[in-house]
Amino acid sequence: MPLSASCLVNRADVLARIAEIDGALPRQLSEAESVLADADAVIAEAQEQAVAVLAEAAVERDRRLELTDAGTEASAWAAQVRAEAEADATARMTEADEYVDSRLAHFEVILEKTLELARRAPDDPSADPRTHLTELSESLDRTLTAVRRGRDRLAGKQEMEELGEHLAALEADPYAEPDPLRDSLPDR
């Protein structure tokens, strides 16, 4: 044999090896594809198992905590705080409902009086309709003022602000008569 870069290989052995590799390759590729396809399912199953384990651990923790004096006291305290908060919320809701109902009732009375004034046309044909319109406009202004005061109270406007507004109004017109619609609002 001459010395060269070429080598002689048994043809039958090489063909047998190629057939063996060719036979093994598709099986390994299909196994790899199967593992990759199952990876998402395996991860999802592992996450579900983790959630279940954590839920069981929380139940067990709570059970063991209830067996201790501190756990029993904490549970009782939490129940008491929850009950007090619910009672406070119920009382506040009732108070708010009563306040809104009283405001609406007051507003209803004011609107009825305003409507009565609007319906009452001057009996005297020689009477100036502008006077009647002025009275109606003033009544509506008082109604609007009463509504704004009610909204301010709902928004939590401070009594000192109201006193300041009252004093400013008195300084502007010290001889003005009190407005029965504005001044008759009940204190909350």
Q: Has residue 100 been placed in a domain?
A: yes
Nearest to 100 by CA among 90, 112, 92, 111: 92
Is the pTM above the cut of 0.85? no
Is 164 found in the same domain as 117?
yes
> What are 99-145's pLDDT values in tens digits?
888 877 887 787 777 777 766 666 666 777 777 778 778 877 877 78
pLDDT tens digits, residue range 44-78?
Answer: 889 999 999 999 999 998 888 888 888 888 888 88
Query: Distance between CA 162 and CA 159 in Å, rounded?
Result: 5
Q: Is the domain of 60 the same as that of 105?
A: no
* CA dist., res. 95 & res. 89, Å (int): 10
Tally of domains in the chain = 2
How far is 150 from 188, CA to CA, in rounded Å?
10
Instruction: Print the domain residue range for 34.
Output: 11-67
Same domain membership, residue 101 and residue 61? no
DSSP 89-126: HHHHHHHHHHHHHHHHHHHHHHHHHHHHHHH---SSTT
pLDDT value, residue 63: 85
Q: Are 142 and 110 in contact (CB under 8 A)?
A: yes
